[in-house]
Amino acid sequence: MNIFINKLPLLTRVLISALFLLSALAKLYPTPLYGITKVFEEGQLIPMGFSEGLAPFISRIIIGFEFFIAFAILQRNYIKKLVVPSTILLLLIFSIDLSIKIFSGDTENCGCFGQLIPMTPLEALIKNIFTLLLLFYIYKNVEDKKDSNFLLLLSSYLLILVMMFSLLPIPSNSSAKQMSSFSSYVEKDFDINNGKKILCFFDAGCEHCMDAAKSLTSISEEIIDFPDVHIVFSDTEEAKIPDFLNYAGKDYSYQVVAFYNPDDEINSYLEILGFEYENPVVIYLNNGNQMRFFDGTSSNQFVEEDFKNIFK
User: Which of the four pLDDT bands, split at 50, 70 and 90, describes residue 225?
Assistant: confident
Q: What is the pTM of this model?
A: 0.64
pLDDT tens for each residue of 230-288: 998 988 888 999 999 999 999 999 988 877 665 554 456 666 665 456 788 898 988 88
| Residue range 26-76, pLDDT digits in tens | 998 877 877 887 778 877 887 777 777 788 899 999 999 999 999 999 999
- State pLDDT tens for residues 80-120: 999 999 999 999 999 998 999 899 888 877 888 887 888 88
Gyration radius of the chain over CA positions: 23
Look over the chain and give the mean of its residue pLDDT values, rounded to a whole number. Answer: 85
Is pLDDT at 4 greater than 70 in this prediction? Answer: no
**Residue range 288-303: average pLDDT?**
79
196-310, which class in CATH? Answer: alpha beta
Helix (H, G, I), strand (E, B) or coil at 239: helix
On the question of pLDDT at 15 being above 90, the answer is yes
CA distance 92 to 73: 18
**Residue 265's CB: how many other CB atoms inside 10 A?**
12
- 105 C-beta neighbours (distance < 10 Å), count: 7
Measured distance CA(73)–CA(77) in Å, rounded: 9
Whether the bond between 262 and the residue before it is cis, its omega within 30 degrees of 0, is: no
| Closest listed residue to residue 202, CA positions, set 239, 228, 241 | 241
Q: What is the pLDDT of residue 312?
A: 66
What's the half-sphere exposure (Cβ side, CA atoms, 13 Å) at 86? 13
Q: pLDDT value at position 290?
A: 77
